[in-house]
């Protein structure tokens, strides 16, 4: 939805930190009630004093598109402050609605199967990082008209044919992301907005229709229920309509904008970690 130079300028700040694991400080748990001698010897029962146990930090993995990528900077900074290890593995332009034709700002485009290599990359990420929670945010590439019959018919978010495919794709993704025991927290996507200078767009371009974004979120609620995972609307609620203070280009979060989401998104992630 942006000309290339704008997208690169927005995401360039983030790319230096993408995929970097930020480990926060680890808070020790309380010590055992067993008393020790003043000089660290045995206690009155003759047992050695117990060592203070250090719990392993919780781990959060972020997957999704460029909106997730830029929001992930705020999640990483929040994790660093709260002793939570966060890995941002979102991918620029990622979508799970692939193997189709799509009408976007560039015209009619053919998407290849496994467009952002999730079937290859996700199993490795899950096996090596071992997240407790996976935060998933898609939608920026899912608001366009799509065709699965070589352009004979077109559909989009909110239409029964699209919703059926979206439900199947996202349910499959939810199951794959939970394969190693992680809890999946779906974020219903924010709205998007035109800004002056957009290439191939206008304020009336159909991909800016809030009803399409709302339809994506509704499907994700069904996905979360069907796969026994969870979903939160906090990002959607704070960005429909678009808040240009947090997303200056109408799509991606600035660093300060991502930070501004955490007072409400942080508790939702903590709840998922506790579950």
- At residue 76, φ and ψ (nearest 5 deg) are -65, -45
**What pTM value is reported for the model?**
0.81
Pairwise CA distance, residues 110 & 273, whole Å: 38
Would you tell me which CATH number, out of the four given (3.40.50.1110, 3.50.50.60, 3.40.50.10860, 3.40.50.11900), belongs to the domain 4-25+55-274? Answer: 3.40.50.1110
The per-residue pLDDT string of the chain (275 residues; one tens digit each, 9 = 90 and over) reads: 543 333 334 444 333 333 333 333 333 333 333 333 333 344 444 555 455 667 789 999 999 999 999 999 999 999 999 999 999 999 999 999 999 999 999 999 999 999 899 999 999 999 999 999 999 999 999 999 999 999 999 999 999 999 999 999 999 999 999 999 999 999 999 999 999 888 889 999 999 999 999 999 999 999 999 999 999 999 999 999 999 999 999 999 999 999 999 999 999 999 999 98
Counting other chains too, the contacts that 4-7 makes at CB distance below 8 Å and 24 or more residues apart are 6/197, 6/249, 7/66, 7/92, 7/249, 7/252
Q: What is the DSSP letter of 269?
A: H
Pairwise CA distance, residues 17 & 78, whole Å: 14
Predicted local distance difference test score (pLDDT) of residue 29: 35
- Assign 133 to helix, strand or coil: strand
Pairwise CA distance, residues 260 & 190, whole Å: 14
Structure tokens at 262: 């955490």
In the chain, where are the structural domains located? Answer: 4-25+55-274
Please state whether beta strands 145-147 and 133-137 pair in parallel, antiparallel, or not at all (unpaired). unpaired
């Amino acid at each position: 939805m942006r000309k290339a130079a704008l997208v690169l300028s927005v995401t360039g700040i983030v790319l230096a930190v993408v995929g970097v694991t930020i480990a926060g400080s680890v808070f020790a748990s309380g010590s055992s009630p067993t008393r020790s001698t003043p000089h660290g010897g045995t206690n009155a029962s003759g047992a050695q004093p117990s060592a203070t146990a250090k719990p392993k930090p919780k781990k959060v993995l972020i997957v999704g598109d460029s909106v997730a990528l830029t929001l992930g900077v705020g999640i990483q900074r929040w994790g660093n402050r709260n002793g939570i290890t966060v890995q941002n593995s979102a991918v620029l332009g990622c979508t799970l609605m692939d193997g189709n034709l799509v009408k976007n700002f560039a015209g009619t485009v053919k998407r290849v199967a496994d467009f952002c290599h999730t079937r290859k990359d996700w199993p490795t990420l899950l096996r090596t990082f071992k997240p407790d929670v996976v935060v998933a945010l898609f939608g920026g590439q899912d608001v366009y008209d799509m065709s699965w019959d070589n352009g004979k018919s077109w559909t989009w978010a909110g239409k029964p044919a699209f919703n059926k495919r979206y439900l199947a794709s996202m349910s499959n993704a939810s199951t794959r992301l939970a394969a190693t025991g992680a809890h999946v927290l779906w974020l219903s996507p924010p709205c998007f907005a035109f800004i002056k200078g957009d290439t191939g767009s206008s304020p009336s371009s159909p991909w800016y229709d809030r009803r399409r974004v709302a339809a994506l979120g509704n499907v994700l609620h069904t996905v979360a229920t069907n796969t026994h995972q969870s979903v939160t609307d906090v990002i959607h609620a704070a960005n429909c309509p678009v808040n240009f203070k947090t997303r200056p280009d109408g799509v991606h979060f600035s660093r300060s904008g991502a930070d501004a989401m955490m007072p409400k998104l942080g508790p939702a992630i903590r709840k998922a970690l506790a579950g």
